[in-house]
Structure 1
Amino acid sequence: MWIRSSCLIFALFLSGCGLTQVQKDSISQFSRSSASFGDTVTTQLIDARSTVMDLNTSVLTLTPQRIKDRDKIDGALPPDRISARIRAAETLQSYADLLLALVEDTQQAELAAASAKFKESIRGLDPDSRKLSEEQLTGVGELVEDIGGLIVEYKKKKAIEAIVPEADAQVQRIADLFASEFNTDGPVAKYVNAMGLLAVTAADSVLDDTNATVQDRIPAVEANRKGIETKRKTDAIYPGLAAAAAQLKAAHGDIVKGVKENKITLARLNELTKTVKELAAHTRLMLKH
């Protein structure tokens, strides 16, 4: 009887040795911001390809000689390139979902599902983007599967303390990818802007032609509008995406430090949250049809 009572007291003691409320709130905030960032990136990548195809169609209508390879209407944004980046964005979202499940009052089945989704997303990355080994992924699964019983909060804390530091290299790799892609001089930003300029230039050749008819000018005016809107859209959103990626990387570093030292630095996390909210608002505005 004494042994059973002692075990119960010990279990209850451990159940109180979970994450602090500040740690939980910070990880929850990071998770929600990361998930929103990943969703916004996915939306922007899909839109970038769609925009390029639309612009190239307009250019083909006005001055087809400007498009060298007419079979590749999506230009430098083919499906395989875009899908690889979408998988990276979805990996961030699945990681965010896993962290959120670990800090909230989540049932074991939901925890297991979040863990499985995260592991699958890592395995779906291109080899040069993957930073977590199969052994590490197995460890993640084992940590999550072990959560249960009276000491669930203690086990959740131990899982967070193990998973977050190991995932840091993967988060950094994905954050660096999007910071470079959407930077003003990055490949995605430069290419989409270049296609917008090409459409405006193609339109100019018609709009500047005094012999052009009204029927000639209609597609030119439309191409000009698309090109200008593309520039406005990328100027409003892409720099924020690059900044948010850098902030996400820094904020995750603070989370790694925070789970080790029981002290969270909120400044960069709050910057990330603010930037992501602004991006979501800009995306709703600029992509509204």
Structure 2
Amino acid sequence: MSTPPSTPMSARTSSGPVAMTGRYALTSTRMAYRNVRFLILTVALPLLLFLLYANVYQGQDAGDGLSVVAYLMVSMASFGCIGAAINTGARVAIERQVGWNRQLRLTALPGPSYLVAKAIVSMLVTLPALVLVFLAGATIGGVQLSAAQWVGTGLAVWLGLIPFAVLGLVIGFAGTVDSVQPISTITYLGLSVLGGLWFPVEAFPAFLQDVATVTPSYWLADLGRSVLAGQGVPLDAVLILAAWTLGLGAIGVWSYRRSGRRV
């Protein structure tokens, strides 16, 4: 009886960490997209809120060349994407509990590649919320932009989500299966409110306005709205989001190594 030919070990390992990272990220992304409940929860709320606000504020001007609906479109897209990115960390906690994380440590996949792959997955699962809210803005909301403005604004919001993807990993490694979901929910709702995604920061008390300008969600919205209004990419937003990414990345590496000592 013949057996199927096996792939030589050298061929399996010669692809290198970059290729292994890509394959693992692709596999994990497919699994995430199969979780219909997760996708619905991270898309439905921001989309419904946007449609509600668009109906109330249709035709009003927000200043800086932006309509209120366009302003809210960026806010609600950011809100949905933050939730999707952070809540991906729940999957990490589940993998740790069932021992999948321990098994991966025994494979040829390097630790940094695992972290990068998970961050890529977090970024990819944000796309449905971003695309659908923008689509609702272009159709039901009546937001009229050039092709360059749509692409530029979408890319600005999407790339600004990197620190939130890293934050999701930190929560996934630090929390347990029972605690990670409430921690993720409180974190993303808190960042959304404090960052001015639900209400204008100018309406906050003075001390909360100071707190808001420290949050990455505030600068994510500022980045998207600035590009949308044709004001270019604000350097301060880029630098602060980069600082959040580096800081959270360091915590994420420490949390990953610490979780390895517990498995």
Given the two structures, how large is their TM-score scaled by the length of structure 2?
A: 0.34
Bigger Rg, which one: 1
Which structure features the higher share of helix residues? 1
Given the two structures, how large is their TM-score scaled by the length of structure 1?
A: 0.32
